[in-house]
Amino acid sequence: MQITETFVLPNGIIDARPRFREIYTAVQQSHPELNEFDCAVDEALLVMRGEAPPTGRPVYLGDARLKLHFVIIPGLFADCLSYQVSPFNRRMHLHEHGYQSSILWVNGRSSCAYNAEMIHKALAFHDPDVRLVFVGYSKGVVDALQAVVSYNDLRDRTAAIVSLAGAVYGSYMANRVPFPISWLVSNLRIGSCHPGDGKSVQSLQPALRHQWLEQHPLPSTIRYFSLAGTPLPDKVSRALKLHHAMLNKRHPLNDSQVLYQDAMIPNSQFLACVNADHFAIALPLIKQWPFMSFLLNHNNYPRELLLESIVRYVEEQLVENLT
């Protein structure tokens, strides 16, 4: 399925879609038990105009070859749901192959600086022989980028950062939150999550994110990878239709919260246009809340296959860097 919407990679972004598609295809074929949504590769990963043909290289599907720990950083308000819904909650198939992964719960209602400190403290005693790979979902990638810029010791132990529907350049939806709602979000206690410094929405404003990236060059010792949510209109859940339509005025390739180009880390490798909205790409919401199936009617997506493909692609790149 080839999409003809205007798709342009920004300067400095490397197009890695053909190789990632090969890895995803091999992972899917090796895990029929995980493809519960019976989704063809070209439906899971959209083919945008200009994608090159496959490389033809074999795909390694064995056990982990490097000592890496994949640290998943959730997004906005995620800790308010941490006891119920977590990104990629099924990762045993990765662990069975020797890949280490965990979820690092930051404060979903706080600024990037606040969460960067949390990340640094949480990993202060992490095994120094195991390199870190951050998989930042939504605001999580911004927190991870802030952390490696702010703390040199963390930067030195980090091998790579992956943006998964990440608000790298912010979200225009952050500019549309009325002040009364923003104030309540910042100050009101919601479930079990603490308001922290209450600056989560403010920190995602595009002007602030652009300014931060201009003033803080990202460490060149770290490898960067990006994936964007670019769902077809019939893959956007009802709960996100309005936001998707709002962002359509800026560009039709958006996941309802982030424009596709805004999800790309500068000078990163771009891996895929994912046919899933902002929730479906990482959060199994209706598995936990089936009563929400009417509003979240397109929340099904082969997330476990996507995660393993990311893990194997990143490891392959790091292995090649050593040879």
Chain-centroid distance, C-alpha 189: 26
Whether residue 269 contacts residue 213, with contact meaning beta carbons closer than 8 Å, is answered with no
Res 249 pLDDT > 70: yes
Position 124 confidence tier, pLDDT thresholds 50, 70, 90: very high
Please name the helix (run of DSSP H) or strand (run of DSSP E) that holds residue 266, with its range, or none.
none
List the structure tokens of 183: 């104030």
Q: Report how far residue 307's alpha carbon sits from residue 49's, in angstroms, rounded to the nearest whole number.
A: 24
Note whether residue 266 is domain-resident.
yes
Note whether residue 283 is domain-resident.
yes
Res 215 pLDDT > 90: yes
Residue with tokens 């819904």: 85
Position 4 confidence tier, pLDDT thresholds 50, 70, 90: low
Q: Name the domain count of the chain.
A: 1
Query: 6 or 312: whose pLDDT is higher?
Result: 312
Res 26 pLDDT > 90: yes
Which structural domain range is residue 64 located in?
A: 2-317
H helices present in 151-255, as ranges: 152-156, 179-187, 206-215, 241-248
Note whether residue 109 is domain-resident.
yes
Note whether residue 154 is domain-resident.
yes
pLDDT value, residue 180: 36
User: What's 271's DSSP letter?
Assistant: E
CB atoms within 10 A of CB 242: 11
Please name the helix (run of DSSP H) or strand (run of DSSP E) that holds residue 24, with its range, or none.
helix 17-30
Identity of the amino acid at 1? M
Query: 88 or 208: whose pLDDT is higher?
Result: 208
Position 39 confidence tier, pLDDT thresholds 50, 70, 90: confident
Position 36 confidence tier, pLDDT thresholds 50, 70, 90: low
Note whether residue 322 is domain-resident.
no
Q: For 253-272, how does the pLDDT look when each residue is reduced to its tens digit (9 = 90+)?
A: 999 999 999 999 999 999 99
CATH of the domain at 253: 3.40.50.1820
19-43 mean pLDDT? 87
Note whether residue 93 is domain-resident.
yes
Please name the helix (run of DSSP H) or strand (run of DSSP E) that holds residue 288, with its range, or none.
helix 285-288
List the structure tokens of 88: 């990629």
Residue with tokens 């939806």: 173
Res 182 pLDDT > 60: no
Q: What is the 3-state secondary structure (H, E, C) of 73-113?
A: ECCCCHHHHCCCCCCCCCCHHHHHCCCEEEECCCCCCCCHH
List the structure tokens of 299: 């929340």
Res 139 pLDDT > 90: yes
39 sits in the region (left: phi over 0; alpha: psi -120 to 50; else beta) called beta
Res 87 pLDDT > 90: no
> Among 2-6, 171-175, 309-313, which stretch is predicted with the lowest mean pLDDT?
2-6
Res 19 pLDDT > 60: yes
Res 63 pLDDT > 70: yes
Res 163 pLDDT > 60: yes
Chain-centroid distance, C-alpha 50: 23
pLDDT value, residue 85: 74
Q: For 290-307, how does the pLDDT look when each residue is reduced to its tens digit (9 = 90+)?
A: 888 999 999 999 999 999
Note whether residue 323 is domain-resident.
no
